[in-house]
């Protein structure tokens, strides 16, 4: 720290975080905010969770979880100790010391960044901010958001960043359902608006996260998150491009990837699928693509990978149509069962799920579509999709009545022996089965 720097707020916050006397406020209690809230509470901090969804706050306050991989007793134990509560009353922002924003950052219909959730949240909490607080933005966004959006807004309310109010950016790295890593064990990247902000940001996180990786600026931290997801998007785009080529050449691409992965250096295995899902990988690369235009540059790799990955649901539908054709049946009027509508296996998360796009395309072509997913007994409300359906049970009778079954998300809970033995035609988008006359890789 600068030896000439002197701020009573800085010293007080450092002491509060070190002694775990600080109150932590987390805005947005979804797949990022809820695990983070529990992690702070389990470390001994008092946490107030904020959300506009009363159903979420009421469930949390009653000790119940609304996310499948988070057990009820994890919440109820913390509620009994008085370490966590949830509210829709944003006036309580005034009583917390550390404020962490975990709100969505989707794309609009033109694949441009939609910062409306961040802006609306900031407008809501601005009247209740006070001196001596630190605010951390965790929502994925383009480089410059913290500096260009949050910093001027906070300063307009009379605060001096780095003196009586502190601002950092620390991207979330949550991986729902991952049993190997959790919020506390995944290293935390962090950048501050000033050097003092960065130091206080480290203090905010280091008591609950095993390792904090500080970078030189909020822009560097924002770029780090985008690079992580662009790396995945581009490499998944590569194998998705190779999938139809390998198919035409009579080569099992999954076999090839598994063989290549035995090389102990210089290769990272990525597997093809029906498209990209989740809140990060299908969306985040386009934040950088949009921002690059401001600098007169075009991110061709990112855009090409996006085109390939976005086209995969249509490829799956075409393979399904071809397989039915071989069996003497048209896609129009055929009964199709889609297995798995979550964006990845073993989670109850449908954000940007390619399975749902597959269902939409099938229905558009006249197929009679149903789904089976134990994590979704009934099809949930979504902004872009509407299906009045309930999950089908995987039974011999149910499977055999469908002209084709599509394995879109390979949950471990599925009875794969039942599936392979009773499906008339099986379209496998995940490489779960060996390709046979009955099993079509897509």
Query: What is the rounded CA–CA span in Å between residue 428 and residue 442?
Result: 6
Q: Which residues contact 371 (CB under 8 A, 6 or more apart)?
A: 337, 338, 339, 340, 341, 355, 359, 379, 387, 389, 391, 392
Distance set, CA 262 to CA 59, 265, 266, 267, 432 (Å): 46, 9, 11, 9, 19
Query: What is the rounded CA–CA span in Å between residue 202 and residue 10?
Result: 12
Q: Provide the annotated active-site residues.
A: 280
Question: DSSP letters along 297-363, please?
Answer: ---HHHHHHHHHHHHHHHHHHHHHHHHHHHTT--STT-EEEEE--SSSTT----TT-HHHHHHHHHH
Query: What is the rounded CA–CA span in Å between residue 222 and residue 395?
Result: 47
Instruction: Report the DSSP pairing between strands 98-101 and 23-27.
Output: parallel
CB 307 within 8 A of CB 282: no
């Amino acid at each position: 720290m600068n030896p000439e720097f002197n701020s009573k707020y800085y010293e007080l916050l450092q002491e509060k975080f070190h002694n775990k006397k600080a109150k932590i406020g987390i805005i947005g209690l979804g797949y990022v905010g809820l695990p983070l809230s529990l992690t702070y509470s389990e470390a001994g901090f008092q946490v107030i969770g904020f959300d506009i969804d009363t159903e979420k706050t009421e469930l949390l306050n009653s000790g119940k979880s609304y996310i499948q991989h988070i057990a009820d007793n994890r919440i109820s134990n913390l509620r009994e100790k008085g370490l966590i509560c949830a509210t829709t009353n944003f006036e309580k922002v005034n009583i917390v010391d550390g404020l962490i924003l975990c709100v969505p950052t989707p794309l609009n219909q033109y694949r441009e960044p939609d910062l409306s959730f961040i802006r609306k949240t900031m407008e809501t909490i601005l009247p209740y901010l006070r001196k001596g607080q630190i605010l951390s933005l965790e929502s994925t966004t383009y480089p410059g958001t913290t500096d260009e959006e949050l910093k001027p807004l906070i300063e307009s309310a009379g605060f001096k960043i780095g003196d009586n109010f502190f601002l950092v950016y620390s991207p979330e790295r949550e991986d729902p359902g991952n049993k190997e890593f959790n919020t506390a064990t995944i290293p935390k990247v962090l950048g501050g608006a000033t050097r003092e902000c960065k130091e206080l940001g480290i203090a905010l996180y280091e008591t609950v996260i095993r390792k904090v990786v500080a970078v030189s600026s909020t822009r560097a931290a924002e770029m780090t998150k985008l690079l992580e997801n662009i790396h995945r998007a581009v490499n998944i785009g590569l194998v998705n491009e190779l999938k139809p080529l390998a198919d035409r050449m009579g080569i099992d691409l999954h076999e090839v990837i598994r063989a290549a992965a035995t090389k102990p250096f210089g290769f990272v295995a990525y597997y093809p699928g029906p498209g990209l899902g989740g809140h990060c990988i299908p969306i985040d690369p386009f934040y950088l693509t949009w921002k690059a235009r401001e600098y007169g540059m075009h991110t061709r790799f990112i855009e090409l990978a996006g085109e390939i990955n976005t086209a995969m649901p249509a490829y799956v539908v075409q393979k399904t149509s071809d397989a039915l054709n071989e069996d003497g049946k048209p896609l129009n009027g055929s009964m199709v069962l889609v297995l798995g509508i979550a964006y990845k296996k073993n989670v109850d998360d449908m954000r940007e799920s390619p399975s749902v796009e597959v269902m939409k395309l099938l229905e558009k072509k006249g197929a009679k579509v149903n789904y089976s997913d134990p994590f979704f007994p009934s099809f949930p409300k979504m902004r872009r999709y509407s299906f009045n359906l309930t999950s089908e049970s995987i039974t011999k009778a149910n499977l055999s009545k469908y002209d084709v079954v599509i394995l879109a998300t390979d949950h471990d809970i599925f009875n794969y022996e039942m599936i392979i033995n009773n499906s008339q035609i099986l379209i496998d988008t995940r490489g779960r089965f060996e390709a046979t006359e009955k099993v079509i890789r897509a």
